Amino acid sequence: MSTAHNPRRQFVKTAMNAPFLTREEEHELAVSWKVDGDESALHQLASAHMRLVIAIASRFRHFGLPANELIQEGHIGLLEAAARFDPYREIRFSTYATWWIRASIQDFVLRNWSIVRGGTSSAQKALFFNLRRLRAQLSKGTTRMTEDAMFAEIAGAVGVAIEDVRTMNTRLSGSDTSLNAPLSDEGEGAERQDFLVATDPLPDEIVGESIDGDRRLNWLTEALKVLSERELTIVRARRLEDEAATLEAIGQSLGISKERVRQIESRAMEKLKSALLSVHPDAMMTH
């Protein structure tokens, strides 16, 4: 099939042929979008970085998901980066956008690779995306390793328990099983879902937790007002997002060292704690 009749190849070709932006051009476009809301500037900024999206998306092709969908998710991450990017900080947009593109694609893979969701912590995600590579590296060694030794090595490298490595390895090696699959070889009788135990809280527990949650959210919203803009940015990225950003990633986006990020975060958390306790002495107890 020729490129002219293959929309995806044509898209990739167009993206790879897009002109590179100089630092000055990139800054001007980012300012036009950030300050003036110029959507044409956003389009130019995004178009110039689609080759970055394609390059990052290609690293996830072995998960068996459609390439065009990986690229679409990466594009969403690129637009999120554009929305959050501060053009007045001494950092290139491509450096800042890389984290958002990769995070968006990783979340997409975790949502769609298997019916059963994997771990959502940073360590579990690192294990999910690096287990195959680490196993391959260890298998190339001159000394043949036992499976237990290999799992122990991987657990130490990623920072998870050995049992987590074992579980993830089984999950990546096996296939999903339908909950409607019969337990009997004859295909009749009870199904797997019949033996699942409901662990959801009772209705009154849900209502109570909702009320307490709203109250704690109001307390936290008020307390956050004591933080500076930089402190608020770090606390949100480290404590309030579904996936906590790393110190290194935040440091790169803010143009400071990860140790400085840690110091600012620690100081901000102390300010938050003091603000909460000064107005609501029981706030920390009910959290």
Instruction: Write the DSSP assignment of 106-141 as a string of letters.
Output: HHHHHHHS-SS----SHHHHHHHHHHHHHHHHHHTS
91-142 tens-digit pLDDT: 888 888 999 998 888 888 877 765 444 555 667 667 776 666 777 777 776 6
Answer yes or no: is 117 within a domain.
Answer: no
281 within domain boundaries? yes
Half-sphere exposure of 75 (CA within 13 A, CB side): 15
pLDDT at residue 157 tops 60: yes
Tell which wins on pLDDT, 182 or 236: 236
Residue 33 forms part of a structural domain: yes
Residues 99 and 12 in one domain: yes
Work out the mean pLDDT of the chain and round it to a whole number. Answer: 76
Structural domain span for residue 209: 203-286
CATH number of residue 96's parent domain: 1.20.120.1810
Q: How many other CB atoms are there within 10 angstroms of residue 53's CB atom?
A: 26
Tens of pLDDT, residue by residue over 12-50, are 777 777 778 888 888 899 899 888 888 888 888 888 899
Q: What is the pLDDT of residue 264?
A: 92
* Within-domain flag for 218: yes
Q: Which of 61, 93, 112 is the last residue of a domain?
A: 112
The pLDDT of residue 169 is: 73
pLDDT tens for 196-247 read 555 555 555 554 555 555 666 676 777 788 888 899 899 888 887 878 889 8
Nearest to 233 by CA among 214, 205, 260, 209: 260
Kindly state the DSSP code that residue 191 receives in the 8-state scheme: B
In a domain, 23, yes or no: yes
